[in-house]
């Protein structure tokens, strides 16, 4: 949320129409003015424009009615007696969502009535106009507004307040507990009112007895559920432990010890197979396998024998031809036939060569059988036997390694005992779990029974008159609601207090001058009491802090509260440096102001932020205004610039 524009018309000391327009993107807006010139009025105008009658400025004032409060701000020098405040702001830095709230009233009649108009993105919104209090509470709840819009003088008052009750109330507001307190008080008031009309004491005593019986049954069921949860947790841990022990047992050789006899038997089987494999290899070596070493020689013999066989056939054929020729030539003679006879004789001479190996036909037949399959088959079988021998040797080596492992049987036995003990414990847990689950069924039945008895008795008490029924039902739900409120309040407070204390510590360390005085700030989750501890963990009494340090502590707390509220809102500080020495002022100016918010509006006199401090913070200052007071008209007008030449 960034305030874009604030317009004051005849409001308080501001005569006529005065507009503060914030256009610079730097985080600090500086508004200077002497005392009584309208700084506090500016702060109250922002609160009034946003919250109207819900403004804490009005609630803390002495005015009895809101109309009287509005009338007090009408500038008496304006004859129209009409006043208004108008604020325009955007949500986020991109200015995509803008809102403008215009509140106007007059003092012409006896009663002063306010008119409000709301614009969304410069367009009139009937819904927002009629529901603005609900809408602004979602953006910035009024209970949290004093974390963002505050007066330095009030901070000084908080700093010297030894009870810290105002701070505790602020913390409870931030935690959302004040809303719960109001709700609880309202419920108590309603309960007390109803109690006067309740039924007889005897009936209520019996009702209370049944309620106590029901609550005892519920508590017993809760105890059993807790026991079941504990057993399940123990059971899961034991199962994980058992798994780890089994892995350790295996790693230490426990499985080998258990299966040693099986490994020995498996070793004997493998050795028998190795012996059988050896015999088969020897048998293969005694058969056709050696011939695989002289295949080329055997092929040469085969070729030579085949050629010799062919030549023998040719020679025998030529002999047959000669015999037939002799028989033929007795009666016939021919030159052509004689030439043919000489031709075949020449062929016979060529074929009549001696065979190199003199292989007969039977031997040639056996040689062909060897070369056509027997040798290759025997070779493949031998290769298979060799592969099988290598596999058997590997298996034998693995078994030898397993059987030769040096196992600490005493350690293995110890782990084994732990496994058995853990298994027994798991079995006990499972039995116990089963028993408690059975008990739970019984306890749950008791809860159902007592709840039913309680409900039936309540119904019987409330079955008479409709009014009585309404009262008892309200009592029932008041008790339930108060119980829920108490539990939720405690949980909420515990959840947020630690984070708040840590944030306060961080903020104080950024601002504090004496770095070693307070090291840590703690907060009691129940009482919200703050404890200040030094680096040794020793308590630092609040009395040891100077007035300025106390004020610095309060600023740190308000800063932390604003941070923890998770609201991205502007911060407005009136009279910010009251009672602070120069060192602490420097910390506030250089550390807090630039980081308090995306928009920090500072309302200061020239003695608080003088020329020295102005130069120190100038790089973070965007818009500057001066509240110029006219003694004659007794009114203030707005000028640009921070005091100008009036800065001391």
pLDDT at 300: 74
Categorize the per-residue pLDDT at 359 as very low, low, confident or very high, splitting at 50, 70 and 90: low
| Contact indicator for 295, 303 with CB cutoff of 8 Å | no
User: Is residue 262, in this structure, part of any structural domain at all?
Assistant: no
* pLDDT digits 0-9 by tens, 185-229: 666 666 666 665 555 556 778 878 888 888 898 899 889 989 998
User: Is residue 312, in this structure, part of any structural domain at all?
Assistant: yes
Task: Identify the domain boundary among 364, 379, 404.
Answer: 404
Number of residues written out for the chain: 648
User: Is residue 202, in this structure, part of any structural domain at all?
Assistant: no
Among 395-404, 437-446, 491-500, 522-531, the range scoring the smallest mean pLDDT is 395-404
pLDDT at 18: 92
Angle CA 45–62–135, to nearest 5: 45
Categorize the per-residue pLDDT at 544 as very low, low, confident or very high, splitting at 50, 70 and 90: confident
Q: Rounded to an integer, what distance in angstroms lies between the CA atom of residue 450 and that of residue 461? A: 16
User: Is residue 503, in this structure, part of any structural domain at all?
Assistant: no
* CATH code assigned at 144: 3.40.50.300
User: Residue 79 sits in which domain range?
Assistant: 2-148+567-646
User: Is residue 234, in this structure, part of any structural domain at all?
Assistant: no
Angle CA 75–81–83, to nearest 5: 65
DSSP collapsed to 3 states, 201-256? HHHHHHHHHHHHHHHHHHHHHHHHHHHHHHHHHHHHHHHHHHHHHHHHHHHCCHHH
Mean pLDDT calculated for residue range 434-452: 89
Task: Identify the domain boundary among 359, 383, 404.
Answer: 404
How many structural domains is the chain composed of? 2
Task: Identify the domain boundary among 375, 404, 433.
Answer: 404
Categorize the per-residue pLDDT at 348 as very low, low, confident or very high, splitting at 50, 70 and 90: low
User: Is residue 36, in this structure, part of any structural domain at all?
Assistant: yes
Q: Which residues 6+ apart lie within 8 Å of 556 measured at CB?
A: 504, 507, 508, 511, 512
Q: Residue 481, Cβ neighbours under 10 Å: how many? A: 14
Mean pLDDT calculated for residue range 608-625: 87
Tell me what percent of the residues of the chain surpass a pLDDT of 70: 74
Report which of 548, 551, 529, 605 is spatially closest to residue 574, judged by C-alpha positions: 605
User: Is residue 487, in this structure, part of any structural domain at all?
Assistant: no
pLDDT at 42: 92
* pLDDT digits 0-9 by tens, 93-142: 666 789 999 999 988 888 888 999 999 999 999 999 999 988 888 777 77
Q: Rounded to an integer, what distance in angstroms lies between the CA atom of residue 532 and that of residue 168? A: 15
**Burial grade of 350 (CB within 10 A; 0-12, 13-18, 19 or more):** exposed
User: Is residue 526, in this structure, part of any structural domain at all?
Assistant: no
pLDDT at 255: 59
Check pLDDT > 80 for residue 75. yes
């Amino acid at each position: 949320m960034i305030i874009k524009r604030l317009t004051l018309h005849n409001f308080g000391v501001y005569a006529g129409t005065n507009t503060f327009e914030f256009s610079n993107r730097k985080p600090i807006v500086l508004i200077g003015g002497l005392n009584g010139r309208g700084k506090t009025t500016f702060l109250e105008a922002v609160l009034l424009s946003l919250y109207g009658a819900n403004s804490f400025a009005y609630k803390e004032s002495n005015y009895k009615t809101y109309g009287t409060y509005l009338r007090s701000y009408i500038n008496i020098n304006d004859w129209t007696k009409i006043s208004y405040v108008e604020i325009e702001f955007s949500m986020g830095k991109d200015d995509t969502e803008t809102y403008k709230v215009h509140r106007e009233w007059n003092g012409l009649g006896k009663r002063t009535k306010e008119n409000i108009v709301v614009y969304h993105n410069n367009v009139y919104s009937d819904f927002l106009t009629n529901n603005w209090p609900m809408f602004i509470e979602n953006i910035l709840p009024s209970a949290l507004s004093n974390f963002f819009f505050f007066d330095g003088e009030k901070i000084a008052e908080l700093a010297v307040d030894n009870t810290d009750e105002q701070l505790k109330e602020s913390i409870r507001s931030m935690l959302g507990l004040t809303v719960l307190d109001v709700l609880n008080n309202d419920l108590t008031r309603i309960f007390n009112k109803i109690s006067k009309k309740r039924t007889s004491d005897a009936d209520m005593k019996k009702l209370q007895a049944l309620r106590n019986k029901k609550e005892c049954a519920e508590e017993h069921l809760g105890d059993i559920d807790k026991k079941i949860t504990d057993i399940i947790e123990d059971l899961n841990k034991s199962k994980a432990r058992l798994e780890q022990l089994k892995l350790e047992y295996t790693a230490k050789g426990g499985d080998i010890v258990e299966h040693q006899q099986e490994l020995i038997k498996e070793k004997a089987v493998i050795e028998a197979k190795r012996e059988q494999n050896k015999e088969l290899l020897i048998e293969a070596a005694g058969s056709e396998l050696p011939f695989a070493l002289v295949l080329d020689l055997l092929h040469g013999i085969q070729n030579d024998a085949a050629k010799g066989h062919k030549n023998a056939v040719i020679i025998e054929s030529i002999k047959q031809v000669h015999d037939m020729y002799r028989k033929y030539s007795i009666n016939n003679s021919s030159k052509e036939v004689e030439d043919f006879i000489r031709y075949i004789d020449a062929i016979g001479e060529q074929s009549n060569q001696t065979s190199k190996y003199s292989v007969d036909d039977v031997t040639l037949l056996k040689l062909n059988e060897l070369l056509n399959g027997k040798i290759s088959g025997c070779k493949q079988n031998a290769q298979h036997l060799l592969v099988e021998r290598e596999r058997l040797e590997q298996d034998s080596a693995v078994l030898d390694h397993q059987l030769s492992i040096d196992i600490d049987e005493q350690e293995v036995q110890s782990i084994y005992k732990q496994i058995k003990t853990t298994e027994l414990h798991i079995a006990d847990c499972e039995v116990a779990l089963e028993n408690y689950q059975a008990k739970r069924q019984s306890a749950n039945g008791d809860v159902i029974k007592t709840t039913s008895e309680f409900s039936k008795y309540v119904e019987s008490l409330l079955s008479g008159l409709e009014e009585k029924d309404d009262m008892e039902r309200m009592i029932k739900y008041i008790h339930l609601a108060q119980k829920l409120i108490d539990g939720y309040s405690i949980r909420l407070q515990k959840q947020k207090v630690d984070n708040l204390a840590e944030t306060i510590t961080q903020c104080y360390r950024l601002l504090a001058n004496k770095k070693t005085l307070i090291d840590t700030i703690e907060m009691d989750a129940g009482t919200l009491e703050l404890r200040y501890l030094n680096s040794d963990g020793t308590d630092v009494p609040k009395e040891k802090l100077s007035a300025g340090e106390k004020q610095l502590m309060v600023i740190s707390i308000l800063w932390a509260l604003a941070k923890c509220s998770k609201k991205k809102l502007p911060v407005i500080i009136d009279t910010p440096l009251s009672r602070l020495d120069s060192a602490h002022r420097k910390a506030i100016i250089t550390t807090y102001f630039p980081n308090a918010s995306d928009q920090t509006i500072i309302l200061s006199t020239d003695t608080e932020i003088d020329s020295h401090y102005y130069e120190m913070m100038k790089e973070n200052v965007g818009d500057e205004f001066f509240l110029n007071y006219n003694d004659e008209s007794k009114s203030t007008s707005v000028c640009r610039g921070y005091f100008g030449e009036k800065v001391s």
